[in-house]
């Protein structure tokens, strides 16, 4: 179904602009009118990462007048495999600065608004209210749900994509016009329950495929061209090289956009899991009774074990590929999925088991599971990242 253009046309194009955007002006569905709408458009890109990078480049090249970029991160060398707005010389710089430079290099007339922050329940509405639509390439669930919730309240389209390994998903959520994000994905998964690209990996070019679909949908929304992905979820499998469109529907009982949704609740609140929140709160103050070993203490215990004065198993519950990047010497691998499936700890019979993961989420879950089975399991808060920071900087972070 064709929809009216989201943005009214801006001023007439100059002769130089007509030359520059000639290939757009030739498009029957876009033309001079559509190009003026793009010039007047205000588009927010959340995350200058794998999906945000290609989207930013194509939005800039398309002549979008104002592009906002939200990111609180700095560029790291692990980003360069897929985050193509950043280069080697940008490592250590704020991603919003690096992204702004990349946009300026392609489209000097585009105004870039830098939001160097992580959106929260207070700032999300303030930031998003200034834009016609949002492209969401966030790498974490709390931000996705916040953005989805804020877009639904503001009634603006939420162009959303996600990638993992060789797979991608992309859709346009739009409360009032079709389903919102929470209609289809009603609850945030528990922390660390869904592996991220930092854990499972991602093919860089898959980000380009999904990010360029997001940019295409943004251009279509602004100019009123074609049929946008409202009510359809595109599912991409790069290994089979397929794209399947799955119909998705509005949920009349949706806690975010449904008729009985509470408009006074805090942003993102309706989609949080009670159990996950409770577990998280308790874990923070230790009241779950989960015993912990700090990384410095772990280093001391490992030295004691090497000297034959301590006996315990150091269990790594990450994925095999993560061990190829970094590992704590003397640890054994059992991915958290296998712990969930009931696998026993290698060499664990009756011994104390000290559990670590990357940052602490998976190890906490594994410790709870093992303790429920009677294993004397201890958690290493902060995981191998804390080890790398506080004990052995030669172990790379990732
Ligand atoms: Zn909804």
* CATH number of the domain encompassing residue 160: 3.40.50.720
Helix (H, G, I), strand (E, B) or coil at 208: helix
Q: How many domains does the chain have?
A: 2
The mean pLDDT of 71-81, rounded to a whole number, is: 96
374 falls in which pLDDT band (50, 70, 90)? Answer: confident
Ligand 1 centroid to residue 174 C-alpha, Å = 8
What is the overall mean pLDDT for the chain? Answer: 90
Residues in the chain: 398
Residues 306 and 261 in one domain: no
Ligand 1 centroid to residue 286 C-alpha, Å = 35
| Selection from 131-135, 310-314, 355-359 with the highest mean pLDDT | 131-135
- Per-residue burial over 123-147, b if 16 or more Cβ lie within 10 Å, else e, is bbeebbeebbbbbbbbbebbbbbbb
Residues 259 and 294 in one domain: no
Ligand 1 centroid to residue 173 C-alpha, Å = 9
269 falls in which pLDDT band (50, 70, 90)? Answer: confident
Residues 134 and 262 in one domain: yes
What are the tokens at 338?
A: 């296998």
What are the tokens at 356?
A: 């670590």
- State the catalytic residues: 197, 357
Residue 317 domain-assigned (yes or no): yes
Residue 397 domain-assigned (yes or no): no
Instruction: Name the residue among 370, 380, 369, 319 with its Cα closest to residue 348.
Output: 370
Q: Are the C-beta atoms of residues 99 and 84 closer than 8 Å to each other? A: no
The mean pLDDT of 125-147, rounded to a whole number, is: 95
Helix (H) or strand (E) holding 209: helix 204-223
Ligand 1 centroid to residue 189 C-alpha, Å = 17
Residue 322 domain-assigned (yes or no): yes
pLDDT at 286: 35
In the predicted structure, residue 284 carries a pLDDT above the cut 70: no
Residue 198 domain-assigned (yes or no): yes
| Cα–Cα distance measured from residue 47 to residue 141, given in angstroms and rounded to the nearest whole number | 13
Residues 386 and 247 in one domain: no
Last residue in a domain, options 272, 306, 329: 272
In the predicted structure, residue 297 carries a pLDDT above the cut 90: no
214 falls in which pLDDT band (50, 70, 90)? Answer: very high
pLDDT at 191: 66
Ligand 1 centroid to residue 50 C-alpha, Å = 26
Paired residues of 315 in beta bridges: 332, 355
The residue to which tokens 């704020």 are assigned: 94
- Phi and psi at 129, nearest 5°, equal -60, -20
pLDDT at 287: 34
pLDDT at 274: 52
| Cα–Cα distance measured from residue 100 to residue 85, given in angstroms and rounded to the nearest whole number | 9
CB within 8 Å of 113: residues ≥ 6 apart? 66, 67, 68, 69, 130
| Cα–Cα distance measured from residue 312 to residue 336, given in angstroms and rounded to the nearest whole number | 19
The mean pLDDT of 121-134, rounded to a whole number, is: 94
Helix (H) or strand (E) holding 150: helix 141-154
Residue 166: give the domain boundaries: 15-272
Instruction: Tell me the CB-side half-sphere exposure of residue 275, using CA atoms within 13 A.
Output: 5
| Cα–Cα distance measured from residue 350 to residue 225, given in angstroms and rounded to the nearest whole number | 66
Residues 94 and 195 in one domain: yes
Contacts 24+ apart (CB under 8 A), 111-117: 111/65, 111/66, 111/67, 112/66, 112/67, 112/68, 112/69, 113/66, 113/67, 113/68, 113/69, 114/68, 114/69, 115/68, 115/69, 115/70, 115/71, 116/71, 116/72, 117/70, 117/72
């Amino acid at each position: 179904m064709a929809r009216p253009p989201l943005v009214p046309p801006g001023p007439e194009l100059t002769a130089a602009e007509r030359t520059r955007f000639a290939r757009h002006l030739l498009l029957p569905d876009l033309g001079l009118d559509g190009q003026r709408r793009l010039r007047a458009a205000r588009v927010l890109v959340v995350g200058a990462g794998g999906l945000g990078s290609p989207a930013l480049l194509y939005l800039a090249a398309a002549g979008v007048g104002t592009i906002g970029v939200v990111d609180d991160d700095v560029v790291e060398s692990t980003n360069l495999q897929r985050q193509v707005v950043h280069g080697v010389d940008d490592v250590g710089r704020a991603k919003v600065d690096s992204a702004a430079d990349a946009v300026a290099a392609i489209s000097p007339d585009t105004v870039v608004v830098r939001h160097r922050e992580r959106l929260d329940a207070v700032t999300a509405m303030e930031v998003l209210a200034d834009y016609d639509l949002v492209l969401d390439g966030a790498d974490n669930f709390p931000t996705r749900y916040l953005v989805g919730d804020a877009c639904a309240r503001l009634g603006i389209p939420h162009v959303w994509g996600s990638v993992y390994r060789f797979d991608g998903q992309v859709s346009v959520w739009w409360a009032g016009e079709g389903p919102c994000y929470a209609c289809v994905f009603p609850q945030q998964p528990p922390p660390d329950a869904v592996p991220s690209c930092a854990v499972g990996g991602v093919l860089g070019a898959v980000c380009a495929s999904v990010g360029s679909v997001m940019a295409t949908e943004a251009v279509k929304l602004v100019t009123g061209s074609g049929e946008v992905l409202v009510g359809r979820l595109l599912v991409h499998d790069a290994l089979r090289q397929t794209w399947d469109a799955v119909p998705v529907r509005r949920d009349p009982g949706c806690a975010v956009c449904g008729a009985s949704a509470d408009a006074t609740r805090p942003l993102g609140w309706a989609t949080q899991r009670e159990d996950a929140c409770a577990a998280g709160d308790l874990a923070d103050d230790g009241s779950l009774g989960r015993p912990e070993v700090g990384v410095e203490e772990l280093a001391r215990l490992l030295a004691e074990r090497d000297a034959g004065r301590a006996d315990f198993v150091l269990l790594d519950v990450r994925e095999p590929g993560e061990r190829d990047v970094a590992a704590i010497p003397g640890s054994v691998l059992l991915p958290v999925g296998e712990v969930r499936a009931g696998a026993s700890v290698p060499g664990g019979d009756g011994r104390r088991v000290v559990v670590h993961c990357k940052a602490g989420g998976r190890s906490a879950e594994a410790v709870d599971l093992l303790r429920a089975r009677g294993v004397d399991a201890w958690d290493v808060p902060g995981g191998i990242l804390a080890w790398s920071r506080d004990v052995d900087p030669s172990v790379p972070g990732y």
